[in-house]
Amino acid sequence: AAATSRPNWLDAALAATAATAARRLALGRGEPDAFFATRLRTHLGLDPATAFTETVAFPADEPDWRRNLRLATALLGSPVEPRAPTLRPPDADAASVISGYGLAPGRYAVCAAAGFANVRLKTWPPDRFATVLAHLRDHHGLPTLLVGHAAEADHLRAIPGAAACWLGRDGNLPLLAALLARSALFLGNDTGAMHLAAAAGVPVVAVFGGGTWPRFVPAARRGVALVHPLPCFGCDWDCAFGDAPCVGAVTAADVIAALDRTLATATFEVCTVDHVSAETRAAMAAAAATHRARRTDHLARQHKLEELTQLDLEKDAEILAKDAEIQRKHAALTEREAAVAEKEREIAALKGVCDEREKTIFILDGHVRHFQAENNQLTADQAIAHRTLAALPADAAHSARVIADQLVHIRNLEALRQQHEERLADLEAAQANRAAGLHDLEQAKHYGRLLSAKEAVIQALSRGLAQRDDLLGQIGAESTSATARLRVWWLALRLRLRERCRDPLAAWLFHRVVEKHWMQIGVLRHYDPRPLAWDRRLPRPRLPAARLPRLAVVTPSFGQERFLERTLRSVLDQEYPGLLYVVQDGGSRDRSPEIIARHAGRLRHWESAPDRGQADAVHRGFAHVAGDLAPDDVMAWLNSDDLLGPGTLRFVGDYFATHPAVDVIYGHRIIIDDEDGEVGRWILPRHNPATLEWIDYVPQETLFWRKRAWDLAGGIDPSFQFALDWDLLARFQLAGCRVVRVPYFLGAFRVHAEQKTSQAIHTTGADEMRRIRTRFHGERQDDFASIDRHARHARFWGAITSRLLALGLRW
């Protein structure tokens, strides 16, 4: 039986593979998530639609724990008593923890203000929690114990007013349950701690959003589940508005009223609040419907892509099998050819032996003839010697000894002569080689001699290093244990100072510098819409047009008729002298082709044809101008809903012309809404290569690079759909390109309902970001502590840069 109203892939797989006689029950219609259903069909060959043979109906407003009672009733064939689950946790050291915080059992409240391990959107704002904690303390005399996971420490410590903060780790669940059971009240978000408190009989006050409402309403005996119904409920936390207005609409006053009611009564109820006008509700309903339709269309495309990918994998497997068969046949043919070649070599060897023996016969014959001639000569010489000896005087023996003594000197002179002749032959050969143009050959000989000399030096150094190692070993042997203990004490002192001083100081400094500042890198809305104000301090043109590089811009577009005209004008109206502008439309069915055609005379190229997504469109666009660009010319792409700032192209051209060593630049970002109203700004710190390896905050619409960097990196990777700009930047960095962040606002990023959805961030986007981190860090690609550290580093220095900019200092 599938125990949830949305069976997961494991439920469907088990049901589909169960024995034929087994009962296969599911709550509701038994339809698994569409994404997993596609995976089951393509990877396991299972049809989730026929996995369950029985379904159990349930009311739409019923929580999961009551639905599971219905499932048990259907399985057993008789009604199951609808009792709420109960929990009696052991002490698990809770008493010592409570007393350590100065709290008394039954006289403190527990607040789970985080619980965002999977979904951060459903977290109620920290400042409102602080207001409610003050009310508990001042009006009910209840101090509060903040609880959460160690990974949520920064979020919890930013909430003032709590008596203490307990941070658990993996395996501390029994201790958390014991702390909840000894409390007087639970307050918090929709978390697992809420259900533990309800099972332990503790009054529960919980703030709910509409992502999964009402599946996880707790089985509490006393308390309030607080919710603000909106038309967008049931989004499964893929929020159409990006900031969960269903949670944000619940006010601190609503929660305080719920707390007062809970402490004054002994019942549990679901309390709804309403702070939204009818007009706003209507607008939200329309936006939510549009978002659902787009999400459904996106998921359908994604599922189709999965099916095509699986089909492609199957075809690849067939191709590999065919290729393996071809390889086997090729190997067999190679073996036969090798056997034939071996026979031919044997024949050639036999022929060579015959030729050698024939040659030997000729040589031996020549030797015989030579020996005969020498014998005749020796016989003649002997006769002459006898005649000469007979004619010599009496001191002939002494003369022979003198001549014999001089023979050694004569042989030495002959050896020196031979060495000089060989050296002269080498010099003549070298001169001939150089005259014939073989300088590389002579250079190789020269380096060969140098290498021989170098090898001798290396051997001498090796002996010296061995002597040094012996000396170091003697010094190490003379070290005392007292020195080792002193180092251990020093390390312990450093750890103590970090825990007591450095870490709290760093948290306080981050809170003061970053979290209390209006500009937050990573947040897409900082204030209500205001008139768009471009950078008035952007440097004026300094170079004549003849010295500027050519600048190629590509705009990929699909179905963006609302914003396309503004995007095109933001580029064309700058009248950059060397502009090569290409618009690559993906076959839009709206008025986009008509809008582009109006500007065709000012474009280098444009077309409207189906493509395989944004990356493919960018790749196609640059293919139309790549042959016209020199290595130092400049490239960029601008999405069809973003804008370039006035004067940006001329500034970029001047900058690259006057900074020949720079390969890539980017700048600050302005955030706008769909009506060009400014709603925020990202002020980036100076470029940090280490940060780019873990996280990407670089505004793509402000990114420009040279053609030589594009060639070194290999261009855009069409396999990326979401993180294609980060991937390109990462390959720029790996190729050794010099990247600079310039201190000016170069473009505007538009926030609107038609953007890539948050669903893509959690699926395709997360996978692509993991691929990029793997490129730098291998198996450490999911090191979330490092990701968070670099994100905080970028946010901190971004806040510093923003504060300096407010003083008129561009850093």
User: For residue range 319-350, what is the model confidence (pLDDT) as tens digits?
Assistant: 998 989 999 999 989 888 888 988 888 888 88
Q: How many CB atoms lie within 10 A of CB 565?
A: 17
pLDDT for 455 beyond 60: no
137 phi and psi angles, rounded to 5 deg: -75, -45
Average pLDDT over residues 448-457: 44
Reported as type and span, the H/E element at residue 206 is strand 204-208
Cα dist. 727→272, 716, 765, 774, 786 in Å?
46, 8, 12, 12, 19
In a domain? residue 481: no
Same domain, 307 and 361: yes
Q: Which residue, chain included where needed, has tokens 């009818």?
A: 278
Specify burial of residue 533 (Cβ count, 10 A radius: 0-12, 13-18, 19+). exposed
Closest CA to 705 of 750, 656, 743: 656
Same domain, 272 and 287: no
pLDDT for 657 beyond 80: yes
In a domain? residue 358: yes
In a domain? residue 800: yes
Q: How many CB atoms lie within 10 A of CB 450?
A: 10
pLDDT for 318 beyond 80: yes
Average pLDDT over residues 196-210: 94
pLDDT > 90 fraction of the chain, expressed in percent and rounded: 47
| 467 φψ region: left (φ > 0), alpha (ψ -120 to 50), beta (else) | alpha
Residue 478 has a pLDDT of: 47
pLDDT for 695 beyond 50: yes
Residue 456 has a pLDDT of: 46
Residue 370 has a pLDDT of: 64
DSSP 221: S
Say which CATH number the domain at 613 has. Answer: 3.90.550.10
pLDDT band at 199 (very low <50, low <70, confident <90, very high): very high
In angstroms, the CA 83 to CA 22 distance is 28
In angstroms, the CA 98 to CA 100 distance is 5
pLDDT > 70 fraction of the chain, expressed in percent and rounded: 79
In angstroms, the CA 249 to CA 113 distance is 17
The tens digit of pLDDT for each residue in 765-798 reads 888 899 999 888 888 888 899 999 999 999 999 9
The tens digit of pLDDT for each residue in 361-397 reads 756 666 666 667 667 777 776 777 677 667 766 666 6
In angstroms, the CA 616 to CA 620 distance is 6
User: What's the full length of the chain, in residues?
Assistant: 811
Closest CA to 28 of 65, 66, 2: 2
In angstroms, the CA 121 to CA 529 distance is 22
The tens digit of pLDDT for each residue in 216-229 reads 899 999 999 999 99
pLDDT for 662 beyond 60: yes
Its pTM stands at 0.45
DSSP 696: -
pLDDT for 552 beyond 50: yes
Same domain, 343 and 324: yes
Q: Are 127 and 160 in contact (CB under 8 A)?
A: no
- At residue 440's C-alpha, the angle toward residues 434 and 445, to 5°, is 90
pLDDT for 48 beyond 50: yes
Domain boundary among 425, 451, 474: 474
DSSP 49: G
Copy the structure tokens of residue 163: 């008596």
In a domain? residue 494: no
Cα 384 from chain centroid (whole Å) = 99
Residue 415 has a pLDDT of: 64
Q: Are 203 and 222 in contact (CB under 8 A)?
A: yes
Copy the structure tokens of residue 259: 């707390």
Which residues does residue 665 pair with via DSSP β-bridges, in sequence order?
Answer: 704, 740
In a domain? residue 225: yes
Peptide bond into 214 cis (omega under 30): yes
Average pLDDT over residues 684-699: 96
Domain that holds residue 30: 9-76
Residue 382 has a pLDDT of: 74
Residue 127 has a pLDDT of: 92
Q: 534 CB contacts (<8 Å, ≥6 apart)?
A: 645, 646, 670, 745
In angstroms, the CA 136 to CA 295 distance is 42
In angstroms, the CA 306 to CA 301 distance is 9
Q: Are 305 and 313 in contact (CB under 8 A)?
A: no
Kindly report which listed range (7-16, 266-275, 432-441) carries the lowest average pLDDT score: 432-441
Pairing relationship of beta strands 164-168 and 54-56 according to DSSP bridges: unpaired
Say which CATH number the domain at 224 has. Answer: 3.40.50.2000
CA atoms within 13 A on the CB side of 527: 13
In angstroms, the CA 54 to CA 71 distance is 11
Q: Higher confidence at residue 529 or residue 343?
A: 529
Same domain, 226 and 289: no
Average pLDDT over residues 727-738: 94
DSSP 228-253: ---TT---TT--SSSS-HHHHTS-HH
Kindly report the average pLDDT of the chain as a whole number.
84
Same domain, 669 and 796: yes
Q: 420 CB contacts (<8 Å, ≥6 apart)?
A: none
Same domain, 170 and 71: no
Q: How many CB atoms lie within 10 A of CB 517?
A: 18
Residue 441 has a pLDDT of: 36
In angstroms, the CA 416 to CA 405 distance is 18
Q: Which residue, chain included where needed, has tokens 């369950």?
A: 52
Q: How many CB atoms lie within 10 A of CB 780?
A: 11
Helix, strand or coil, per DSSP, at residue 81: coil
Q: 417 CB contacts (<8 Å, ≥6 apart)?
A: none
Same domain, 52 and 103: no
Residue 690 has a pLDDT of: 95
Residue 487 has a pLDDT of: 66
Average pLDDT over residues 142-156: 91
Average pLDDT over residues 421-432: 63
Q: 252 CB contacts (<8 Å, ≥6 apart)?
A: 128, 131, 132
Q: Are 739 and 665 in contact (CB under 8 A)?
A: yes
DSSP 127-169: HHHHHHHHHHHHHH---EEEEEEGGGHHHHHTSTT-SEEEEE-
Same domain, 191 and 260: yes
Average pLDDT over residues 486-499: 79
Residue 445 has a pLDDT of: 38
Q: Are 45 and 75 in contact (CB under 8 A)?
A: no
In angstroms, the CA 52 to CA 28 distance is 11
Helix, strand or coil, per DSSP, at residue 170: coil
Same domain, 564 and 625: yes
Q: 327 CB contacts (<8 Å, ≥6 apart)?
A: none
Q: Higher confidence at residue 24 or residue 678?
A: 678
pLDDT for 351 beyond 90: no
Helix, strand or coil, per DSSP, at residue 598: coil
pLDDT for 80 beyond 70: yes
- At residue 389's C-alpha, the angle toward residues 387 and 394, to 5°, is 140
In a domain? residue 36: yes
pLDDT for 259 beyond 90: yes
Tally of structural domains, the chain: 5
Q: Higher confidence at residue 584 or residue 445?
A: 584
Residue 479 has a pLDDT of: 53
Same domain, 108 and 134: yes
Same domain, 610 and 749: yes
Domain boundary among 276, 310, 344: 276
Domain boundary among 474, 500, 534: 474
Closest CA to 511 of 153, 804, 796: 796
Q: How many CB atoms lie within 10 A of CB 140?
A: 14
Kindly report which listed range (6-15, 185-194, 589-598) carries the lowest average pLDDT score: 6-15
The tens digit of pLDDT for each residue in 231-249 reads 999 888 888 888 889 999 9
Residue 433 has a pLDDT of: 45
In angstroms, the CA 771 to CA 731 distance is 12
Q: Higher confidence at residue 620 or residue 756?
A: 620
Residue 2 has a pLDDT of: 52
pLDDT for 450 beyond 70: no
In a domain? residue 591: yes
In a domain? residue 538: no
In angstroms, the CA 61 to CA 485 distance is 66
Same domain, 292 and 216: no
Kindly report which listed range (23-27, 630-634, 688-692) carries the lowest average pLDDT score: 23-27
